[in-house]
């Protein structure tokens, strides 16, 4: 199963200067709950935005950076692919597992026709942005779960957790 997991603002913004343009601890907790013990697939910029390897997850990175490839060549928790075709072949061989694609925009774009489940956090605010979520065909999906949340001491914005499954 291929699943997209991301957060976006009212305009579909997903990033600014290779980072999230917001701080929403509830979404980070939700992300951790969804991805723990799964395979997470991402581009290099998304990987670089992390403080390090995320616990309890296998990291699959799309990058042509030879330094990154060498750094993790002997690490069983990290696999680096330099070509999208290689990555797609690897994912095809692991379809019995949950594959969480977590960004960036180009990686989402490559898999938008193959994704089975969408896990979107919709943040009801507009942020300064330079990266947007690629357009998805929501008519091919059914909303199966929706949770609305209001600001509190740690989370300064209204937000929704939305889960869609391909029809």
CATH of the domain at 106: 3.40.430.10
| Confidence (pTM) | 0.97
Q: How much is the pLDDT for 95?
A: 87
Whole-angstrom Cα distance, residue 22 to residue 8?
A: 10
Query: What percent of the chain lies above the pLDDT cut of 70?
Result: 100
Which helix (H) or strand (E) element contains residue 86?
A: helix 84-92
| Start-to-end Cα distance in the chain | 14
How far, in whole angstroms, is CA 38 from its chain's centroid? 12
If one counts the domains in the chain, the total is 1
Whole-angstrom Cα distance, residue 91 to residue 95?
A: 6
Strands 131-132 and 13-15 turn out to be: antiparallel
In the structure, what pLDDT confidence band is assigned to residue 33 with cuts at 50, 70 and 90?
A: very high
Task: Classify residue 106 by burial, with Cβ atoms within 10 Å: 0-12, 13-18, 19+.
Answer: middle
Q: How much is the pLDDT for 77?
A: 97
Q: How much is the pLDDT for 101?
A: 98
Range of the domain at 23: 2-166
CB 151 within 8 A of CB 141: no
């Amino acid at each position: 199963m291929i699943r997209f997991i991301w957060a976006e603002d009212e305009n579909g913004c997903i990033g600014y200067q290779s980072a999230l343009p917001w701080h929403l601890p509830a979404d980070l907790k939700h992300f951790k709950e969804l991805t723990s013990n799964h395979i997470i697939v991402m581009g290099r910029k998304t990987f670089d935005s992390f403080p390090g390897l995320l616990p309890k997850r296998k990291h699959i990175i799309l990058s042509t950076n030879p330094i990154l490839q060498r750094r993790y060549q002997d690490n069983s928790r990290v696999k680096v692919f330099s070509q999208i075709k290689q990555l797609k072949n690897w994912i095809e061989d692991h379809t019995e597992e949950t594959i969480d694609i977590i960004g960036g925009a180009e990686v989402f774009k490559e898999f938008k026709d193959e994704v089975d489940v969408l896990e979107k956090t919709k943040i009801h605010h507009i942020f300064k942005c330079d990266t947007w979520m690629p357009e998805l065909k929501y008519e091919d999906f059914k909303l199966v779960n929706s949770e609305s949340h209001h600001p509190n001491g740690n989370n300064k914005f209204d937000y929704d957790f939305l889960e869609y499954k391909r029809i």
